[in-house]
A and B are shown apart, each in its own frame.
Chain A
Amino acid sequence: MQLTHQQACTEAERCLYCFDAPCTQACPVHIDIPKFIAMIKSGNVIGAAEVVKTSHALANICGKVCPEEIFCQSACNRAKQDSPIRIRELHLFATQQEWKRGYSITPAFPKNGRSVAVIGGGPAGLGCAFELVKMGYAVHVYDAKGFGGVPRNSIPSFRLSNDELRSDIEFLSPFVHSHQRLVDTKAFARIREQHDGVFVGIGLGLDKPLGIPGEHLPGVLPVLRFLGRAKMNTAYIGKQVVIVGGGNVSLDAAATATHLGASQVILIYRRSETEMKVWKSELEEAKKRGVQIQFLTIPIEIVGSDGVTGLRCRRTRLSDQHDASGRPVPFEVPGSDFDLDADCIIVAIGQVIQADFVSLFERTSQGFIRVDDSYRTSLDGVFAGGDAIQGEGTIVQSVAHGKAAAHAMHDYLTAETRRAQR
């Protein structure tokens, strides 16, 4: 639901117009929220959209799907009086008005004569690319699937329509050179040679397997493949679906499965609701759609001969020990095995980086690319951000990484020039 003009004005009227506003601080890309809301209030909606887009290259996408409950809205001072301002909806109201009217004209940014490469056309890559464009770089974006990344490949279309995605991409496309090709280790080396700096925003892309018997059976679907097909309307879904996971992607898969007509969708998660790394709103939505959630449950074997017929599960209990994420470690409860009927299993237990050239980088214990505070990788002149450095995050966080990395890269290249001149 989008706000009507009257609703937007009424909501904007509630904004306290705080100075050094906590909502702006809480936004990873630091959109000047009180400023754009005041503009909606004054009737300057296009100005409001420009404020949003000055800070956020993927403004329409985030207006639609940004989890405001963990960012801007969670910090709203108005919540201390009654209820927080519906910031994301006001953001969407403004950017959609601008999109409908036609984009405000942006000037040709002055060129600085240097060329940089961005590998990955998702939020991190595009966030970085546009920031570098603003600073005068010729930016070459490499992605085999074109622009869009996760929002394009796996966010269900009932949450984010192709139009919304396209609107941001149409806005950004004229500014960058697009190279729609796969980057492997050899291509990566060539790209590094050809450009002054490289940003790697390759996301993850490869589903982690369960590593239990029966995973080869037809009917077992890695989640990214499932969501990707659903976006292209080619997804197969069974009647009785069990999803193994516990993150936002698993909720997307659950909602998509109900959407596609599965009569029963069960999500199993090895810990309890408190430990779930999900946005409350999505969890509530999934429950409303009839998704059943079995907490403290792990899969131990996929049952079936020619295809999936069920999933053997085991109960867990949470121990006093905590893992690296600070959450209690689940232990298996002996003798608690039970079977769930299923003709389709969706595996959504996390992802790893797909690109082969990732082996060139120093990595974290979880396999992500290691970066320092300035988003520098272990390779000289190569920066990274987005899911590839921290695992599944949000779009806006990835854009923020991209922006910050762009500035770090600019500082690095400027310093390098100074060194060369000395």
Chain B
Amino acid sequence: MNIRDIDIYTTRDLSYDFLGLRFENPFILAAAPSTDNLEMVRRAFHMGWAGAILKTTSVEGTRVDLAYPMMSTFNHDGKKLFGMGNIDLISEHHVDKVENNVRMLKKEFPEKIVGASIMAGRKEDWQHLVERLESAGVDFIECSFSCPQGNIGEDPGKMLAQSVVATELTARWVKEAAKRIPISIKITPHVTDILEIARAVKRSGADAITASNSLQALMGIDIRTFVPYPQLNGRSTHSGLTGPAIKPITLKTISEIARNVDIPILGTGGASTWSDAVEFTAVGAGVVQFCTAVMHHGFRIIDDLKSGLSHYLDDMNFTSVTNIHRRALPHLVTHDDLPRCSVRSHINDALCIQCEVCYVACRDGGHIAIDRRPSKIPIVSEERCVGCGLCELVCPVEGCIEMRAPQEFSTVNYTG
């Protein structure tokens, strides 16, 4: 007999306002396969997700010519899906169906945030989509200006969000058509200057930026047949890369926009855990979208997202998610403005397991500043060590190697 366990812990209130909307927590589902099916979104909502952006829809009559298999994986160090590639396109559903999904979801879950993602070409098509979805009751609209495959930009093969002019113009059309709901423009990191695009969005009057879409990638090559992945009968193409592999790029994109342009940001691209969400928020994201982690493990990851974030807030004595917002930004400066501090590597002999991994890394990739000893516990040369930090990164033991400021050493010869 399986009994459903009775909860014995109170759940913390994680709700806050963003874009004029009430989010019960910062975790929402990105426009993707997980949000293309009413039954799936319902399940996600029941399980505790705060909202979902329904998979991108377009004008009626747009033919969506999908190719299968569409998914591929970037495995790293024995871990599957460190990065995930897809050659998916927009929703195959007719816009009527998406409109109906919005109506059903808002009726069944009035407290959840239902967004819709749209993509079009002509002005009237963009505006028509906004009007239809707004009247269906959607809470906000996200405009895909950046799908890395199947683009509808001003030039073939180019994404809308790679053109400053097209981005501003199109965003303006969309914003004009929206009566009351906020509009977010989903951009790509594949630009020379992300700020030009972000400023164009700001000038258009659009309410927010979704940063950022998947990255164009070639997922790998079968070295026996030379057919790249995913393999479709001997052919392949570029994929959109998502998952943990792209998190550092997304953090950079979000932080860059947040530091320079006064516009709300929906963070997306590479978040899989509650701590990733904290990082996204700390560099300026108002909410965090999830996709690859859900496609890998299911909606059930929401339990840890909520629990982990709750305990984090308690530990940090924060009263709300908004306390995290932009907290990392003051620490972020240009390279010129970095303090020039001298640090040296320090190996804790008691923790060292004598693998000499730091030695070889420093010898061949650092500054030949670590010496071997008969004990196999390496020793750092205070003269030769410049404090690059490579040894700390490669050390397999938590806390064994640390970078210390010079005052912690008895003698350091700076001019040497």
Contact = CB atoms under 8 A, between A and B. Distances in A.
B307 A50 contact: yes
Interface in B1-22: 1-3, 5-10
The 5 closest A-B pairs by CB, nearest first: A44-B308, A47-B307, A134-B6, A42-B273, A6-B398
- Residue with the greatest number of chain A CB neighbours at <10 A, chosen from B8, B308, B397: B8
Nearest to B9: A50
B396 to A, nearest CB: 9
A335 interface: no
B303 interface: yes
Interface in B237-291: 273-275
A131 B274 contact: no
12 contacts: A5-B398, A35-B303, A35-B304, A42-B304, A42-B308, A44-B304, A44-B307, A53-B8, A54-B7, A104-B9, A106-B8, A135-B6
A174 interface: no
A105 B310 CA distance: 13
B363 interface: no
Nearest to A14: B78
Size category of the binding interface on chain A: 20 to 34
Given A30-B3, A43-B308, A47-B308, 7 more contacts: A38-B304, A44-B308, A46-B311, A50-B8, A54-B5, A54-B8, A107-B9
Contacts of B2: 30
A129 interface: no
Nearest to B297: A17
B5 A44 contact: no
B43 interface: no
B9 A39 contact: no
B5 A55 contact: yes
A225 interface: no
A43 B7 contact: no
A213 to B, nearest CB: 47
Nearest to A47: B307
Contacts of A50: 8-9, 307
A407 interface: yes
A127 to B, nearest CB: 11
Contacts of A53: 8
Contacts of B312: 44
A105 B300 CA distance: 24
Contacts of B6: 54, 131, 134-135
B415 to A, nearest CB: 39
Contacts of A131: 6
B270 to A, nearest CB: 15
A374 to B, nearest CB: 9
B298 interface: yes
